[in-house]
Amino acid sequence: MTLSRIVSSVMTAPRPRTLAELQRWRRTRAKRRWYKRSFRLQVMMLVGLLLSGMLLAQGTYLNHRKAEIITHQMGERALAVAKTVAGMPQIVNAFSSPDPPAIIQTLAERVRQETGARYVVVGNAQSIRYSHPVPERIGQPMVGGDNDQALISG
């Protein structure tokens, strides 16, 4: 027996000659695991898995970035409303009137409704509220920790 014949007999399985052999060959071949079926299937699954992972990572990043942008825009909008309210001549003149909360509360509520803000609170340099969505809190000190930055920086 020659070397080429030995190699060819070891490397290639004999072809099924009868219908029974063919059916037996197909049954044994069908018992292989789904992930061992073909190299092409494995490559396609790997590419699909990598693509899914990349899309998930990109979606997560874009969602996080969108949330940051929306938060920043909301802050900019609130700052613009605050600067507009602080610059209103009616608000400035109301501080010199005998009853500032009566005038300021009405103006702040109108601004809140027109801008769609959740609340508009107006206070003085001593952090005393002159308007608030809860009327019982008018005249009390403001809380929150961000008042100093607003009073110093504007």
Kindly give the parts of the chain with pLDDT less than 50.
10
CB 85 within 8 A of CB 122: yes
What is the DSSP annotation of 5-71? HHHHHHHSPPPP-SHHHHHHHHHHHHTS-GGGS-HHHHHHHHHHHHHHHHHHHHHHHHHHHHHHHHH
pLDDT at 62: 97
pLDDT at 6: 53
pLDDT at 47: 96
pLDDT at 153: 60
Distance in angstroms between the alpha carbons of the first and the last residue of the chain? 98
Question: Token pair for residue 67?
Answer: 């949330």
- The answer to whether the Cα torsion of 81, 84, 86, 91 is positive or negative is negative
pLDDT at 18: 85
- Which residues touch 151 (CB under 8 Å, ≥6 apart)? 125, 127
Question: Which helix (H) or strand (E) element contains residue 74?
Answer: helix 39-86
- Which residues touch 125 (CB under 8 Å, ≥6 apart)? 151
Question: Token pair for residue 4?
Answer: 């080429």
pLDDT at 154: 55
pLDDT at 56: 98
pLDDT at 55: 98
